[in-house]
Chain A
Amino acid sequence: MGMIIQGATGDWEVVIGLEVHAQVSSNSKLFSGSATEYGADQNTQVSFVDAAMPGMLPVINEMAVEQAVRTGLGLKAKINKYSVFDRKNYFYADLPQGYQISQFLQPIVGEGTMTIELKDGEIREIGITRLHLEQDAGKSIHDQHPSMTLVDLNRSGVALMEIVSEPDLRSPEEAAAYVKKLRSIVRYLGTCDGNMDEGSMRADVNVSVRKFGDELGTRCEMKNLNSMRFIQQAIVYEANRQVDILEAGGKIKQETRLYDSVKGETRSMRSKEEAHDYRYFPDPDLLPLQFDDAYIEKIKADLPELPDEKKARFIKELKISDYDAGVLVAEKEVADFFEVVAKGRDAKLSANWIIGDFFGNLKRTSNTLSNTPVSADSLGALIDLVKDGTISNRTAKEVLEEMFDTGKDAAAIVDEKGLKQVSDTGAIEAAIDTIIAANLDKVEQYRGGKDKLLGFFVGQVMKATGGKANPGVVNQLLKPKLDG
């Protein structure tokens, strides 16, 4: 469902396009041999090329090219065997070259598509306009010195993929779903770690509004949003701001606006007005980027199964629900974990355990899947104990908690605590007889029509056996005895 703003003059449609900057996963930078690792001391991962010292020349990193092609293939996009690097000229303290090497008219990847799924199950196809390679800039720190801005060039020259969408998105939810899906795909492909906190993925958001059926309105761009929440908040604020202006008879000025996450508003960045005149021209230091079909085919042959295909397979072959499949494939690590657990086991049961109690315990113990104290094999072994009747489902939930807290195996905990389920009919029958004898009045009421009392008796038997009686067996034995 698209977002609709109800104005005084009628309903407004919100139109959104995104430019996502995704840092290429590579050891070294796009045009130099210095390291890309996050969090190093200031200016320790800078070469003379990155610092734009006179006479330094860029040499392209083959991994950056490969990762861009791989991402393009993952987005089902056209790969351009011939592309060109251009200089995008502007002045800023953290851009020592005075220009960013980017791709303008001839990007490495052309048009593609991506499907997003919304909360209500609606599926939408979103057009990808292009993907191009470019250099990241350095980092400016404004709050560490009273009168100076401090510049760290560690990020300068790191390879980025700028992925541009068509203006196909119609609500903040769709924009967030798009970024989530894109993040999922690049993480599956291993072309970007998708870490928004460290700035490995950030989005420029273009927003405009129009009356339904009208031409596209004038857009404003909000740069460098680094969380799903900010992206959505910025869109809501900006769309409403534009509707207010238009309904008051004003006009939207095309401009770059800054989203202030503290105040929750966007505001004009006056100083950037002229910055839009980038005077692109082909970088004379670099030859065109060229490769052949065999190169593309080689990368294609290596592509992993992507989330959409994985989800379809889970539903078709493993017969798990659409919803469960969606949850499991969103993160590759979760899907891999699930496949280990489900191997040779009931897939539906495995999915339930992972999505339910396993995730619940991860959260309770403040762990993530990457450092889970309970491995896929351990969880599988626990499920086996439930499946073969050794422990009840309820006991298993307690055992799992214990596994998280102690790191012990399910079998060890069951042994130690004597949690093994009693399926021995003799022992259970004895317990039933004792309880019936002690509650003859309730037996009478039950026989008189108070069916609800069955639960009471089951509970008493479970209590008498320390929760270890097999509930199936209890039910089987209890009913005939109560019925007389």
Chain B
Amino acid sequence: MSLDKNTVAKVANLARIRVEEKDLEPMAAELNAILGWVEQLGEVNTDDVAPMTSVADMQMRWRQDEITDGGYQPEIVANAPSEEEGFFAVPKVIE
């Protein structure tokens, strides 16, 4: 697998990360190096190995259906750049 400049530009856009035009080529090279390294793992024979879903051999913890959180609107919106009567206020995003 190999990424070209255009793919890097597209992924950057999807991730809302600004990458300058001059940086696209070097970044593609860096990402390709990482992908190449990951691809090495494909050389290992894993035919009889169960998929590893976690490094810890444990089951997911389940929570009881109880209300134990919330009820602190001022703290929730405290760090918002803009707030209106307890709402987050963002630039208009209407279709």
B70 → chain A, closest Cβ, in Å? 3
A148 contacts B60, C-beta separation under 8 Å? no
- Which residues of chain B from 42 to 95 have any CB-CB distance to chain A below 8 Å in the complex? 53-54, 58-71, 73, 75-77, 82, 84-95
Say which one of A29-37, A225-233, A378-386, A476-484 lies at the interface with B. A29-37
A147 → chain B, closest Cβ, in Å? 6
Q: How many A-B residue pairs have C-beta atoms within 8 angstroms? Tell me.
A: 132
Q: Which residues of A contact B54 (CB under 8 A)?
A: 287
Looking at A61, A63, A151, A279, which has the most chain B CB atoms within 10 Å of its CB? A151
A299 at the interface (CB under 8 A from B): no
Q: Which residues of B contact A93 (CB under 8 A)?
A: 88, 90, 93
Of the residues B63, B65, B67, B92, contact of A148 by C-beta under 8 Å = B92
B76 contacts A43, C-beta separation under 8 Å? yes
A33 contacts B60, C-beta separation under 8 Å? no
A278 → chain B, closest Cβ, in Å? 9
**How many interface residues does B have (CB within 8 Å)?**
37
A474 → chain B, closest Cβ, in Å? 63
Also in contact, A150 and B73, with CB within 8 A (given A60-B62, A145-B84): no
Q: Which 3 A-B pairs have the closest CB atoms?
A: A34-B70, A33-B68, A63-B65
Also in contact, A150 and B87, with CB within 8 A (given A43-B73, A60-B62, A91-B16): yes
In the docked arrangement, what's the CA distance between A149 and B81, Å? 13
A288 contacts B60, C-beta separation under 8 Å? yes
A interface residues with partner B (beta carbon < 8 Å): 26-28, 32-35, 41-51, 59-65, 84, 89, 91-93, 140-142, 145, 147-153, 258, 269, 271, 274, 277, 279, 282, 286-290
A277 contacts B14, C-beta separation under 8 Å? yes
Q: Which residues of A contact B70 (CB under 8 A)?
A: 32-35, 44-47, 50
Of the residues B61, B63, B67, B92, contact of A149 by C-beta under 8 Å = B92
B76 contacts A51, C-beta separation under 8 Å? yes
A287 contacts B91, C-beta separation under 8 Å? no
Smallest CB gap from B85: residue in A: A42
Main secondary structure of the interface of B (DSSP, over half): loop
Also in contact, A28 and B53, with CB within 8 A (given A149-B94, A151-B90): no
Q: Which residues of A contact B6 (CB under 8 A)?
A: none
B14 → chain A, closest Cβ, in Å? 6
B62 → chain A, closest Cβ, in Å? 4
A29 → chain B, closest Cβ, in Å? 9
A157 → chain B, closest Cβ, in Å? 10
B90 contacts A33, C-beta separation under 8 Å? no
Also in contact, A150 and B63, with CB within 8 A (given A45-B71, A51-B76, A274-B14): no
Also in contact, A142 and B91, with CB within 8 A (given A43-B86, A148-B82, A287-B58): no
Also in contact, A65 and B62, with CB within 8 A (given A44-B70, A89-B14): yes
B51 → chain A, closest Cβ, in Å? 10
Q: Which residues of A contact B95 (CB under 8 A)?
A: 258, 269, 271
A91 → chain B, closest Cβ, in Å? 6
Q: Which residues of A contact B14 (CB under 8 A)?
A: 89, 274, 277, 279
Q: Which residues of A contact B93 (CB under 8 A)?
A: 92-93, 140, 142, 149
Smallest CB gap from A154: residue in B: B70
Q: Which residues of B contact A258 (CB under 8 A)?
A: 95
B88 contacts A35, C-beta separation under 8 Å? no
Taken residue by residue from 17 to 43, chain B's Cβ proximity to chain A (1 for < 8 Å, 0 otherwise) reads as 000000000000000000000000000
In the docked arrangement, what's the CA distance between A32 and B72, Å? 14
Of the residues B61, B69, B71, B91, contact of A49 by C-beta under 8 Å = B69
B69 contacts A32, C-beta separation under 8 Å? yes
Of the residues A45, A89, A150, contact of B89 by C-beta under 8 Å = A150
A-B contact pairs, 15 of them (CB 8 A): A28-B69, A33-B67, A33-B68, A41-B73, A44-B73, A48-B76, A50-B70, A60-B60, A61-B62, A147-B91, A149-B94, A150-B88, A152-B87, A153-B76, A153-B88
A374 → chain B, closest Cβ, in Å? 36
Looking at B15, B63, B65, B94, which has the most chain A CB atoms within 10 Å of its CB? B65
